[in-house]
């Protein structure tokens, strides 16, 4: 189907579901779909906040996507599904990889299969640039090799591959979006590791901003959550079935530049405190957005604007970030296994 036809298709479809609609990105997407007049089912095992629950046309089905029966029931009657539910924390995936795999890989397989069984017209899967692993170059096009270094990246990639295989073998009408670093109102400072909110929170709390890594070499493509939601809606309407799209702005910002922008947004210079003991993620993570912009999408919220509105919302002395970036897991020291010969010696010496 041609892009423009698909846009018409989205317009026709009234019944939309958002998995993970109680989460940070999901809440913004549900609000955007409600504004467009869609009947939106939020599928999430967490409760909805009052502001989302009372939006026009929104209902909540409490379901755990690890359970296939619950997934099937929850998505019944929907035409377009936006699949966002899952674990979004790299740190949590390092500490609990099985939990991460169940939420991201198994949950996504269940959603894909349910969409096939129910004849859903379109599935949009929100994946992550984490699937690329350490970038070999910048900017990154969608055909850059995928070599995730965190369990989170592996489980997101597993979700992608499963959905693409369901597209190849059964025609699942899925479009995949790989989001770069999202920021905006509503991030949980105890879980979210995105630099924009973290930098603002430290600075508004009149603290120096701690940065692990090289403040010039560590560069990221920051996309405002409202732009991300518009990009996902664009994918639903115009994305090619089976296709993968980078969701970013096409601009890289270093940690030094971000701190300067935080200073400009708050009218007071920000102080960075760099810890160069780990340079693990001191690379440029920048999206090539040619495919996305080819669908007619352009980001609207500049970093300066996004920072000013977020700073005003957070106010003075917001809760300080407590999310840590963990790349290595503490594992117990293995007990030395006795070889069979040693074991015999043990037995005979008793």
Ligand X SMILES: NC(=O)c1ccc[n+]([C@@H]2O[C@H](COP(=O)([O-])OP(=O)(O)OC[C@H]3O[C@@H](n4cnc5c(N)ncnc54)[C@H](O)[C@@H]3O)[C@@H](O)[C@H]2O)c1
Binding site for ligand X (CB under 6 A): 20, 22-26, 44-46, 64-66, 84-86, 88, 103, 107, 126, 128, 156, 179, 181-182, 194
Q: How far is CA 143 from the centre of its chain?
A: 19
Question: Which position's Cβ is nearest ligand X?
Answer: 23
Q: Which is nearer to ligand X, 75 or 295 (CB)?
A: 75
Strand-pair partners of 179: 128, 247
Q: Which is nearer to ligand X, 74 or 209 (CB)?
A: 74
Nearest approach in angstroms of CB 297 to ligand X is 17
Going from the C-alpha of 59 to that of each of 6, 31, 63, 278, 320, the distances in angstroms are 25, 12, 13, 45, 33
Query: Which residue is associated with the tokens 């939420």?
Result: 103
Phi–psi pair at 269, nearest 5 degrees = -60, 140
Phi–psi pair at 207, nearest 5 degrees = -115, 155
Nearest approach in angstroms of CB 165 to ligand X is 19
Nearest approach in angstroms of CB 41 to ligand X is 12
- Give 222-242 as a DSSP string: EEEHHHHHHHHHHHHHHPPTT
> What is the DSSP code (8-state) at residue 105?
I
Nearest approach in angstroms of CB 122 to ligand X is 17
Q: Which is nearer to ligand X, 132 or 202 (CB)?
A: 132
Nearest approach in angstroms of CB 232 to ligand X is 10
Q: Which is nearer to ligand X, 45 or 122 (CB)?
A: 45
- Give 238-299 as a DSSP string: HPPTT-EEEES-S--EEHHHHHHHHHHHHTS---EEEETT--TT-SEE-B--HHHHTTT---
DSSP, collapsed to helix, strand or coil, labels residue 32 as helix
Nearest approach in angstroms of CB 289 to ligand X is 15
Cβ 81 vs Cβ 10: under 8 Å: no
Nearest approach in angstroms of CB 106 to ligand X is 8
C-alpha neighbours within 13 Å on the C-beta side of residue 149: 9
Phi–psi pair at 212, nearest 5 degrees = -90, 125
Q: Which is nearer to ligand X, 124 or 209 (CB)?
A: 124
Q: Which is nearer to ligand X, 103 or 121 (CB)?
A: 103
Residues 143, 166: Cα–Cα separation, whole Å: 20
Nearest approach in angstroms of CB 224 to ligand X is 11
Q: Which is nearer to ligand X, 23 or 213 (CB)?
A: 23
Nearest-5° angle of CA 22, CA 226, CA 160?
A: 65
DSSP, collapsed to helix, strand or coil, labels residue 22 as coil
Residues 18, 35: Cα–Cα separation, whole Å: 14
Q: Which is nearer to ligand X, 97 or 263 (CB)?
A: 97
Q: Which is nearer to ligand X, 7 or 118 (CB)?
A: 118
Cis peptide bond N-terminal to 139, omega within 30: yes
Nearest approach in angstroms of CB 340 to ligand X is 44
Nearest approach in angstroms of CB 187 to ligand X is 7
Phi–psi pair at 89, nearest 5 degrees = -110, 120
Q: Which is nearer to ligand X, 9 or 164 (CB)?
A: 164
């Amino acid at each position: 189907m041609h892009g423009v036809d698909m846009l018409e298709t989205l317009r026709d479809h009234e019944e939309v579901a958002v998995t993970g609609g109680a989460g940070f990105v999901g809440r913004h997407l549900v609000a955007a779909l409600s504004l467009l007049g869609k009947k939106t089912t939020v599928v999430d095992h967490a409760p909805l906040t009052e502001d989302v629950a009372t939006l026009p046309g929104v209902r909540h089905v409490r379901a755990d996507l690890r359970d296939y029966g619950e997934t099937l029931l929850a998505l019944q009657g929907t035409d377009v599904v936006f699949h966002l539910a899952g674990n979004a924390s790299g740190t949590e995936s390092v500490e609990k990889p099985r939990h991460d795999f169940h939420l991201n890989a198994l949950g996504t397989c269940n959603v894909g299969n349910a969409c096939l069984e129910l004849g859903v017209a379109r599935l949009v899967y929100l994946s992550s640039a984490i699937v690329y692993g350490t970038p070999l170059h910048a900017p990154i096009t969608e055909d850059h090799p995928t070599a995730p270094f965190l369990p989170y990246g592996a489980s997101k990639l597993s979700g992608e591959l499963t959905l693409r295989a369901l597209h190849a073998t059964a025609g699942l009408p899925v479009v995949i979006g790989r989001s770069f670093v999202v920021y905006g109102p509503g991030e949980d400072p105890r879980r979210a590791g995105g630099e924009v909110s973290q930098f603002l929170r430290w600075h508004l709390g009149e603290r120096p901003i701690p940065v692990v890594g090289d403040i010039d070499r560590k560069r990221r493509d920051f996309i405002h959550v409202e732009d991300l939601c518009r990009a996902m809606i664009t994918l639903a309407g115009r994305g090619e079935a089976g296709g993968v799209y980078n969701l970013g702005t096409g601009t890289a910002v270093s940690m030094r530049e971000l701190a300067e922008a935080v200073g400009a947004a708050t009218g007071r210079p920000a102080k960075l405190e760099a810890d160069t003991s780990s340079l693990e993620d001191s690379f440029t993570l920048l999206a090539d957005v040619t495919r996305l912009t080819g669908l007619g999408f352009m980001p609207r919220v500049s970093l300066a604007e996004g920072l000013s509105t977020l700073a005003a919302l957070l106010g003075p002395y917001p809760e300080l970030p407590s999310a840590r970036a963990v790349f290595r897991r503490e594992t117990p020291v293995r007990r030395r296994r006795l070889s069979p010969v040693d074991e015999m010696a043990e037995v005979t010496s008793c």
